[in-house]
A and B are shown apart, each in its own frame.
Chain A
Amino acid sequence: MKGVKVFLSGDVPRLLRKSADRGVCLYGVRETDGGAEFRCARKDVFTLMRARRSCGCTLYFQKERGLFHFAGKILKKRPVLPSIFILLLSALFISGAFYQSVEVDGCVKTDEKSFREALSDAGVRPGAPIKSVRVQKVRAAVMPLFPTVAYFTLNAEGTRARVTVYERREAPPPERDAPCDVISGLTGVVCAVRVKRGEAQVSVGQTVERGDIIATGRVVYKTGETELLPASAEIDVRTWSVLRGLLPAEYTSFERTGRSRCAYSLILFGKRISLFPIESCVYKWYHKKEEVYALTLGKNAALPVSLSKETYFETAPRKKRVSKDAAKEILKASLSARSYAAAPDAETLNTGFYVLSRRGVYEGVFTAERLETTGIQTEMKEIGTDNKR
């Protein structure tokens, strides 16, 4: 029975008798603490209020408010128009959640058709849900297929996917005919000098520093004539490098205690709605593992609703000590990798490594003796100016 809910206190039988005499139908009359409650039709409210005056009872009419009540009233009175509105809104919403077209700009050297096909295979095609497209994944799938493409952007403009392609540009060739000097990029002892053009400025056994001229393009002939040439030369240099690395002797390890809690949330159009209220800081220290279950329709159509399960594992900090052997191994691997990365093409002649332990810190020292090749063409300086960088 719908209608008005009424709470009554006072002489209940009397009011019931009076209201029945006045032809008011009451429904669900139940006894409550100090009175009764019932429902009656909306049209009988004023009759009940008049009956109340002669009984000395108190009536309280429960007000019905809220969006659902309002929507229910409208739907009950005018069901067609709101239904059409809701249907249109739903259709608009659904149509706005999918790509209608894909536009590709900037393809000059790249075949646009094959690029579009690759995009389609990666999920960017008309009819695909906008929310299901992840730009990073699309780039990872498409970029390796097109070496001419340096970068591309993917933006959703309403229901249109706009892809802008940036292609690779060739670097302009160096001006070979411009006069220049060749300088050293390293510091060490010269082992070999190879001059293709220009005049050598260093000899074997000499020490060079970074920035020293090793060959000049300013050639002075015996006749006193001076010619400016683009010098070309390279030298082999024996270098010594020392790398140092530090490792704390103690570290804090967070180990799981075995206790865990789960928090479920609903991800609706990118918005996260927590299903169960859970405090923001579950444990003082914890590891979090998140699993997202996406709701899909078939292989490629993903609905914008997914369930997220976050598992919080409680952890506790434990102090741990690093053994010297472990520190030696870690530091040696790290420093040798750094040393190799500094000069990957160099020939390593000799290496050394040792570990020192002091003040709760392990210090690793890695020495390397290498044979490297250098020779950097640089703009010719005026005579008398320092060419060091």
Chain B
Amino acid sequence: MKLTERVYNAAFSPGDREEALLRGFICVGTAGDRGVFVEGHRGISAFSNTEIAFSGKGFSLRVAGKGLFLRALSREKAMVSGEICALYFERNEP
């Protein structure tokens, strides 16, 4: 199993993963603990150097760590760099 796939599986529970995939919110991969590539986000809901939250359709993805910054940010893609400690996947409140 590829590293990106392992991280992806660790970040998303099996049920959420399927739903996330269905809803088009995809975390493409990570570069060790130094970067996360996010695709299909719908904007940034929180931004600090310890936590960056991406909002999606029904879900949000939180990247926690130290010295986090957005290496690049476009409409659908983002690259987070820094010392990444955890990825949280949260269901948005209805």
Contacts and interface: CB of A to CB of B under 8 A. Distances in A.
Interface string A21-49: 10111111111000010100000000000
A310 B22 CA distance: 75
A26 B70 CA distance: 8
B1 interface: no
A17 interface: yes
The DSSP consensus for interface residues of chain A is: mixed
A28 B69 contact: yes
A25 B73 contact: yes
Interface in B46-87: 46-49, 53, 69-75
B44 A13 contact: yes
B43 A21 contact: yes
A355 B73 CA distance: 96
A16 B44 contact: yes
A17 B43 CA distance: 5
B45 interface: yes
Interface in B11-63: 43-49, 53
Nearest to B55: A17
A31 B73 contact: no
Given A16-B43, A17-B44, A20-B43, A31 B74 contact: no
A16 B71 CA distance: 13
Given A13-B44, A36-B47, A29 B75 contact: no
Contacts of B71: 27-28
A16 B73 contact: yes
A12 interface: yes
Contacts of B69: 28-31
A181 to B, nearest CB: 107
B39 to A, nearest CB: 13
B75 A23 contact: yes
A13 B70 contact: no
Contacts of B47: 12-13, 16, 29, 31, 36
A27 B73 CA distance: 6
B73 A20 contact: yes
Contacts of A16: 43-44, 47, 70, 73
Contact of A26 (B43, B49, B53, B72): B72
Contacts of B44: 13, 16-17, 20
B48 A31 contact: yes
A16 B70 CA distance: 10
Contacts of B73: 16, 19-20, 25-27, 29, 38
Nearest to B49: A31
A33 to B, nearest CB: 11
Contacts of A13: 43-47, 53
A343 B8 CA distance: 109
User: Which 7 pairs, one residue from A and one from B, show the smallest C-beta to C-beta distance?
Assistant: A17-B43, A29-B70, A30-B69, A31-B49, A26-B73, A16-B44, A25-B74
26 contacts: A12-B47, A13-B43, A13-B44, A16-B43, A16-B70, A17-B43, A17-B44, A20-B43, A20-B44, A20-B75, A21-B43, A21-B75, A24-B74, A25-B73, A26-B72, A26-B74, A27-B71, A27-B72, A28-B69, A28-B71, A29-B73, A30-B49, A30-B70, A31-B47, A31-B49, A38-B70
